[in-house]
Amino acid sequence: MEQRLANIWRMSVNEKKFIENALLSDHRVDGRRPFDYRRLSLKFGSDDGTAEVQLGQTHVMGFVTAQLVQPYRDRPNEGTFSIFTEFSPMADPSFEPGRPGEAAVELGRIIDRGLRESRAVDMESLCVLAGKLVWAIRVDLHILDNGGNLVDAANIAAVAALLTFRRPECSLGGEDTQSVIIHQPEVREPIPLIVHHLPIAVTFAFFDDGEILVIDPTYKEEIIMGGRMTVTMNTNEDVCAIQKPGGQGVKQSEIMRCLRLASQKATDITDKIKKAVEAYDLERAQRKIRRHSSSSAQAACGADIKMSKQVVDVTQKKIDGFKIQSKDPMNQEEVESDTDLENSNTRAPRAMEAEKKDTVALERPNESKLEKPSVEATVDDSHTKEMSASVQQVNQKKSLKDAVKVKSRKKKKVASTMVGE
């Protein structure tokens, strides 16, 4: 008993009085204005479908997994979606291990209502075999540090994790075309979930009999506040969920004001999430591209400018050619995965642009290596240089093709090495 008393975090009378007094003059203890959100940062793990969100001191990790299960009887052609919360005692000494507490259940329910009941994730596309097999999406939310406003942070973590999650592709096969084949990620590119809209939770706290309104309360403010309201909205200004615990009565006009503020914040947060996810997707695409072994070479010292310019031109052409070549398999893939065409189309060239930059940088060490003997042997001769550049081109071609056409890699490799020799 006493041990437990010592572990509870408690607040002094002085703090409570000070926070209330400061709020009367529109000051908050962490230096924010009443309608400022804390700094939000998103991190993604090495696996698909993990997201770590930091909102000020609050730290939440979202983790998405999928499993093939039998669908519910009443919805034979829809996948399932469930949210699980984990409140670790490491995050806050008041969280007890074992059964989820009241706060954990409430948090799970709010996020579940925002995401599932607003049909943000397309469920029908998760069906593999109607009435037999569907994908069950499970979102685990781990609270790593409690700095207040867990609902918003957990909601962002869930959304970000869902956006980066990819499930393996399935197809029907076998002699009766009724057995399900799950394709390994190496064989077929895993498919992202179809997310129609992003519901964002924004929490408000009321103080002083509903007179003072504050956005994104910290753990200290949460202890003092009279009431709380969580509004889940998306960028289309649809209200996906509202939760208002606490005894505080709130006027209708106040609620409308909250909705306006929430939609504004939701837009800001959606932008941030989208930007972070885009950066992650780009990095992911680049990770997939296999580099030629020469990529490990150190940066060169003395390649002349004229020469490197030529190389740039060469790579440009090469990439153009490459684009045309690669168009076919890419389109195929898009049809298969039926994701939005625009997205993957824009992604691919950008990845290539980055790649191009890389190749230009990488070209130099190689080229200088090739060049050196020729410089030593003869006087500076542009012809030999061009030769070396063309050899280079062949080499490079191999590595780029290598990167995209996974299936025919073996054949290509053989062919190109023959040319190189």
Partner 1 sequence: MTDESSSHPNTLVDHWVAPGDVVLDLTNMANQTLKLGGGLRQECDAIIVTKAGRFKFSKPNKYWVESSQKRYVPCVEDTVLGIVVDSKADNFLVDIKGPTLGFLPVLAFEGGTRRNVPKFEIGTVLYLRVVKANTGMNPELSCTDATGKASEFGPIKDGYMFESSTGLARLLLSRPTCPVLDALGKKLSFEIAVGLNGRVWVNASSPSTVILVANAIMSAEFLSGAQQRILVEKLLQRVQ
Residue nearer to partner 1 on the CB measure, 16 or 357? 16
Q: Are strands 40-44 and 179-182 parallel, antiparallel or unpaired?
A: unpaired
Minimum distance between the CB of residue 373 and partner 1, rounded to whole angstroms?
A: 51
Q: Which residues contact 120 (CB under 8 A, 6 or more apart)?
A: 114, 195, 196, 197, 198, 199, 234, 240
Residue nearer to partner 1 on the CB measure, 29 or 415? 29
Task: Identify whether the C-beta of residue 233 lies closer than 8 Å to the C-beta of residue 260.
Answer: no
* Residue found under tokens 């829809």: 78
Alpha-carbon distance of 208 to 20, in angstroms, equals: 8
Task: Identify whether the C-beta of residue 288 lies closer than 8 Å to the C-beta of residue 166.
Answer: no
Task: Identify whether the C-beta of residue 400 lies closer than 8 Å to the C-beta of residue 416.
Answer: no
Alpha-carbon distance of 151 to 107, in angstroms, equals: 6
Alpha-carbon distance of 225 to 217, in angstroms, equals: 9
Minimum distance between the CB of residue 223 and partner 1, rounded to whole angstroms?
A: 11
Q: Are strands 179-182 and 170-173 parallel, antiparallel or unpaired?
A: antiparallel
Minimum distance between the CB of residue 266 and partner 1, rounded to whole angstroms?
A: 27
Residue nearer to partner 1 on the CB measure, 22 or 256? 22
Minimum distance between the CB of residue 7 and partner 1, rounded to whole angstroms?
A: 9
- Residue 21: count other Cβ atoms within 10 Å of its Cβ: 10
Residue nearer to partner 1 on the CB measure, 9 or 72? 9
Minimum distance between the CB of residue 16 and partner 1, rounded to whole angstroms?
A: 7
* Residue found under tokens 């591209």: 289
Alpha-carbon distance of 302 to 220, in angstroms, equals: 60
Minimum distance between the CB of residue 25 and partner 1, rounded to whole angstroms?
A: 6
Q: What are phi and psi of 42, to 5 degrees?
A: -115, 140
Residue nearer to partner 1 on the CB measure, 208 or 334? 208
What are the CA-CA distances from residue 264 to residues 199, 269, 271 (Å)? 13, 9, 11
Residue nearer to partner 1 on the CB measure, 27 or 119? 27
Residue nearer to partner 1 on the CB measure, 41 or 331? 41
Minimum distance between the CB of residue 230 and partner 1, rounded to whole angstroms?
A: 26
State both tokens at 234. Answer: 């998306």
Q: Which residues bind partner 1 (CB under 8 A)?
A: 2-3, 5-6, 10-19, 21-22, 25, 27-31
Minimum distance between the CB of residue 292 and partner 1, rounded to whole angstroms?
A: 42
Residue nearer to partner 1 on the CB measure, 37 or 84? 37
121: DSSP letter: B
